[in-house]
Amino acid sequence: MQESIPNIYSFKVKKINGEDQPLSAYRNKVLLIVNTASECGFTPQLKELQLLRDEIDNPDFEILGFPSNDFGKQEPLNGAEIASFCEVNHGATFPVFDKIMVRGEHAHPLYQFLGDKKQNASLSSKPRWNFHKYLINKKGELVDYYLPFTKPLSSKIKKKIQRLLTEDHQQ
């Protein structure tokens, strides 16, 4: 009997308005999970992430943004201010969740899972700065990660997303 590979669907995150959002709501979608910050040198990637979302334009693909103040205190905003900043300044309409910690012992359980191969059974890659990207397949499994300097519109990211979207995932 095949052991099941750990996935993200058991985690809950908080929406900007404080409501719980189970990640199981994104079942059967390819996800790009990104820790964001409004005052970082990489912040223009918010616009690039939206352009990537628009370019791929597939209902089975979504980007999930997780603001974090863990690196250089570059996310001073809270709640609705974050959502407004992302949409007004960068046109981001993909889901942006409530601010969380993404590193250290107080990291959100989702980020503890994503950064630790013992938990995700795939890769070890804890974020070392803002705009670290995790790629999740349609089964909710971590399949790749990209460091902050890898632009969202890079062919490496786009090709991998397209490949995951076309793979047949029998459940």
* Catalytic residue numbers, as ranges: 40
**What does 47-58 look like in DSSP terms, one character per residue?**
HHHHHHHHHH--
Angle formed at CA 73 by CA 34 and CA 18, multiple of 5 degrees: 60
Instruction: State the Cα–Cα distance between residues 115 and 109, nearest whole angstrom.
Output: 10
Instruction: State the Cα–Cα distance between residues 3 and 38, nearest whole angstrom.
Output: 40
Beta bridge partners of 63: 32
- Enter the tokens of residue 14: 């908080």
Residue owning tokens 């390819």: 30
Instruction: State the Cα–Cα distance between residues 140 and 149, nearest whole angstrom.
Output: 24
For residue 2, the 8-state DSSP code is P
